[in-house]
A and B are shown apart, each in its own frame.
Chain A
Amino acid sequence: MGGRNDEGGGGKEKEEEQDGMSVHSPCKALPSSASSLSKEQSQVELELRLLEALEIYPPVKLRGIHRHFVLYGLMEYLGRSFDRQFTADEVLQLLDRFYNIEMLKSDDEDIDILNHEEDFSLPQSYFEKEEQ
């Protein structure tokens, strides 16, 4: 298990394992000396959460204008799930186990407002406020 189906991902096994992330016990001990079993488990847990998160933050959105906000959403989602900060790179590496993001096609062309030029205009409410 562990989604090893990506060709290009390369050294995912070598990357630093997440310290102190134990699936069952509430106490977070076991730094790098963790048994390979619990390491394995924590990886499974990590991947599971990521896949869950992708339902809200679809990978295709990582290719377009919203990329950073979607990435931010993933960082926060995982951050909350594991009670620690995730960096953008970490999330991207994790995603790399499942997806070749580069190959995805951005869906920006579905965004109508980006597809036709429109002059800027201030909402009317701004001018009404001014009078007060």
Chain B
Amino acid sequence: MGSSSKEETASDGDTASGGASPSNDGRLFSEGERVLAYHGPRVYGAKVQKVELRKKEWKYFVHYLGWNKNWDEWVSADRLLKHTEENLVKQKALDKKQGVEKGTKSGRSAQTKTRSSADTKAEKDDTKNNAAKGKKRKNESGNEKDNVSAEKLLKIQIPATLKKQLIDDWENITQKDKVVKLPRSPNVDDILSKYLELRTKKDGMINDSVGEILKGIRCYFDKALPVMLLYKKERRQYQEAIVDDVSPSTVYGAEHLLRLFVKFPELFSYVNMEEETWTRMQQTLLDFLKFLQKNQSNFLLSSAYESDKVSDGKGKGKDD
């Protein structure tokens, strides 16, 4: 991602508007809005953080979700797409074309507002087409090398049956109003130590590196659970289950641990790591996922879910 300088106001007109329609009388995207953003040959999930009118053209400061802040940049509207199903399909198609898939954060279910307003619609479609062409050009001039290595760096392939599990999990919680019965057994700590035990046996020695990675997973889990691993409907349960200094990894189980792996690239994007080291770490993570997969019938049961009793506002009461 090359040109992101903040004082590009002057040169901007020439460089960025390659295929853009000139200026708009209104802004197309608002602060805080989730969007899809072209970068190189692909489209990424992004968030508009600032909007400014510069030289009669609206500029949007975007953060690419799951990517280091260093990638944040000012772009014009031709680089952005509304976060709609239609555009997500487009993104998917581009991904496929590039032969690499990258976990973009899409699938926000409650996305109702698709277009900002009717009168910008036509223009919008216009810019979209232009954007696509412009992108191709950029692609050939080739700043995609960085991209590729960054993608490779963060990718973790979740086995298909575990993906299925994640979908079932989504269905149970968001569609069937269920929650995971807590405390869960085995909990995350149990699972991690079981894996370490197994691995130690297999390797014939204590593998300090694996141990450190597992500690890392546990640490991520505890910190990430309340801020990004819960569906909305699970928040109340969390408030009740996690009191004082109880660590989530002793209460929650494989269902939530699996969600961490969906979010892992986002968290891990803040860490710098040598390629070779990451490759080894990735192998361990994959091996761990396979271990979860093998033990799916122990760790991940449909009977772990129960209907959410407190959903009608009664709250707790069983403890007193």
Contact = CB atoms under 8 A, between A and B. Distances in A.
B229 interface: yes
Interface string A105-120: 0001011111111111
B231 A120 contact: yes
B26 to A, nearest CB: 28
Contacts of B136: none
Place the interface of chain B in its size category: 35 or more
A126 B107 contact: yes
Contacts of B267: 65, 111, 113
Contact of A68 (B107, B164, B216): B216
A124 B104 CA distance: 8
Interface string B251-288: 00000000100110011101111101100110000000
B227 A116 contact: yes
A69 B224 contact: no
B219 interface: yes
A76 interface: yes
Given A119-B230, A125-B106, A68 B219 contact: yes
A67 B271 CA distance: 10
Contacts of A123: 103-107, 262
A130 B164 contact: yes
Contacts of B280: 76
Interface stretch (A8-16, A39-47, A80-88): A80-88
A117 B229 CA distance: 9
B209 interface: yes
Contact of A122 (B167, B213, B223, B228): B167
Contacts of A73: 271, 273-274, 277
Interface centre among A80, A87, A123, A128 (most CB of B within 10 A): A123
A120 B211 CA distance: 27
Given A72-B212, A120-B228, A120-B230, A112 B63 contact: yes
A51 B262 CA distance: 34
Contacts of A76: 209, 274, 276-277, 280
Interface centre among B163, B223, B230, B277 (most CB of A within 10 A): B277
Contacts, number: 131
B77 to A, nearest CB: 23
A97 interface: no
Contacts of B170: 122, 126
Contacts of B304: none
Interface centre among A69, A70, A76 (most CB of B within 10 A): A69
B152 interface: no
Contacts of B186: none
Contacts of A88: 208, 211-212
Contacts of A70: 271
A126 B266 contact: no
A131 to B, nearest CB: 11
Interface in B128-175: 160, 163-164, 166-167, 170
B271 A66 contact: yes
Contacts of A71: 212
A78 to B, nearest CB: 11
24 contacts: A65-B223, A66-B216, A67-B216, A68-B213, A70-B271, A72-B209, A72-B277, A72-B281, A73-B273, A75-B209, A76-B277, A112-B63, A113-B267, A114-B223, A117-B226, A120-B228, A123-B262, A124-B92, A124-B107, A125-B106, A126-B107, A126-B166, A129-B160, A130-B164
Interface of A: 56-58, 61, 65-73, 75-77, 79-80, 85-88, 108, 110-130
Q: Which 3 A-B pairs have the closest CB atoms?
A: A68-B216, A124-B107, A124-B106
Given A57-B272, A85-B209, A111-B267, 12 more contacts: A65-B220, A69-B268, A72-B281, A76-B276, A77-B277, A87-B208, A108-B223, A113-B228, A117-B226, A120-B229, A123-B103, A125-B106
Interface of B: 63, 69, 88, 92, 101, 103-109, 160, 163-164, 166-167, 170, 208-209, 211-213, 215-216, 219-220, 223-224, 226-232, 259, 262-263, 266-268, 270-274, 276-277, 280-281
